[in-house]
Structure 1
């Protein structure tokens, strides 16, 4: 039976929350560091610690990387990933996430994906987040990814270009490209980040599967919110499902990875 993961996004999703949840499922931090070292980029660090958000204990992934002077483009990120000794599957899936992210950001600003300046999403920490999650899924033996509907929050966020309405425009572009289900939620915070949205848009099927549950992991966000700022991940073996469920448009999309 194939190993699958279900992202239970009751408080949204971000890159570091996803890494934290995978570490909470038992992903080895040492193994993760060893794989990320194959990227041939320096100055980043990753650590983890146990914390609590709203009475729920979990794992906080701490990715640190200096802000760099040069702004990367999609071609720069592609060159870094392709020059690495990561597995072909990890390279392909990571590039798929970054390409969707660049297309969504470009659509917001009105220019092609290749011209997007990755000051926000191609910075070192985003490369570590995205490649780290794809690597983590492979190390955990995950063959398929599923996700819940997403609460998007409301209000405003400060971005490199100035103030943007929440949910961020790039997040809506990513989720509309994936046909993702969203729930009405007016929490005044950015619950789903562009990185989190790109990971799910590129890798996930948006439904809760039948599975034999083996482990649960909790990844914590930076802030304390009125609700627990936590991403819950369920890991298990996929159980047989009716064929009618399996042949969805998005399932076909995910298997082009």
Structure 2
């Protein structure tokens, strides 16, 4: 029996999760080809490289969002310091880090995770993926951008040529986020709006994760308790506690691990992916380990490596 285990060493974000799955040895070209089935290639590019986090070599997954003549680099990582409007503008990705190798540069317009953390490292706007806007959504109904609401994102995924299992998993993760945001903002799930930039980020992170997980074909998926960080984050509405309301709502029923790190370690997208995928939470199960992958965030913490670790193992 094949088991996939997510060891949330430093929380979870969409970009970090994809980075760890690619580090396991999954095919980045296959990921790019499958993501192209969404028909939004013109809106983003993907970069994949090796970086070093506190002595651990990890894969950093980045999405470069194309905004007219500018490329918005969405770096994913753990640290919310921007106001909600910034966060929702796709500034929470911490995928950028000057250090690290230039392993692969896959020009693929795909990426998703709404950490909108402005980190001016690398090219363009570096979004801390581990910093997804506390709210990946916005309640405003005045936007007419494509694939912005939960309903439109769901339709886009359903009408694509992706595998059915990838579609259903992707929609389940998006629904988890939309239900949490809808409850917090007091709006129907179908009317929950994802910010234009955040939507592209989230689509790539969530659908990309579903593509890679389905390619691994695990029989069981488990995860460790999830550290969420501590402190407060500044958004338009004032100072909000960590974890952000949406993240905490998404993690209902999921064991949270105490952390003294004063940053937002787990984003709504990361929380939703883990909450939907993992059927059990605890320490590493009894398995014979086959492969191990590390996905990097953008921040560097003195006390621990800013990574998530994915493990594939088997048992009788």
Shared fold, TM over 0.5: yes
1:205-251, Cα deviation, whole Å (9 max, x unpaired): 223322221000000001112221010111112x25xxxxxxxxxxx
Counterpart Cα distance in 1 of 2:254 and 2:211: 24
Equivalent residue pairs, number: 236
Counterpart Cα distance in 2 of 1:160 and 1:4: 42
Find the counterpart in structure 2 of residue 117 from structure 1.
193
> Counterparts of 1:45-194 in structure 2 under 5 Å?
45-66=45-66, 70=145, 72-119=148-195, 123-159=199-235, 163-176=239-252, 179-194=253-268
Find the counterpart in structure 1 of residue 23 from structure 2.
24
Query: Is the Cα contact below 8 Å between 1:66 and 1:124 reproduced in 2?
Result: no
Question: What is the CA distance between 1:160 and its match in structure 2?
Answer: 6.6
Find the counterpart in structure 2 of residue 231 from structure 1.
308
Question: What is the CA distance between 1:143 and its match in structure 2?
Answer: 3.2
Of 66-75 and 77-86, more deviation after overlay is shown by 66-75
Counterpart secondary structure, 1:123: helix
TM-score by length of 1: 0.86
Counterpart Cα distance in 1 of 2:261 and 2:28: 32
Query: Is the Cα contact below 8 Å between 2:65 and 2:197 reproduced in 1?
Result: no
1:116-149, Cα deviation, whole Å (9 max, x unpaired): 1111895101100000001011122223211000
Query: Is the Cα contact below 8 Å between 2:45 and 2:66 reproduced in 1?
Result: no
Query: Which of structure 1's runs of 4+ aligned residues deviate more than 3 A?
Result: 66-69, 158-163
> What stretches of structure 1 of length at least 5 have no aligned partner?
241-257
TM-score by length of 2: 0.71
Which structure ranks higher in relative contact order (CA pairs < 8 Å, sequence separation ≥ 6)? 1
Structure number with the higher helix fraction is: 1
Cα RMSD (Å) of the superposition?
Answer: 1.9
> Counterparts of 1:207-222 in structure 2 under 5 Å?
207=282, 208-222=284-298
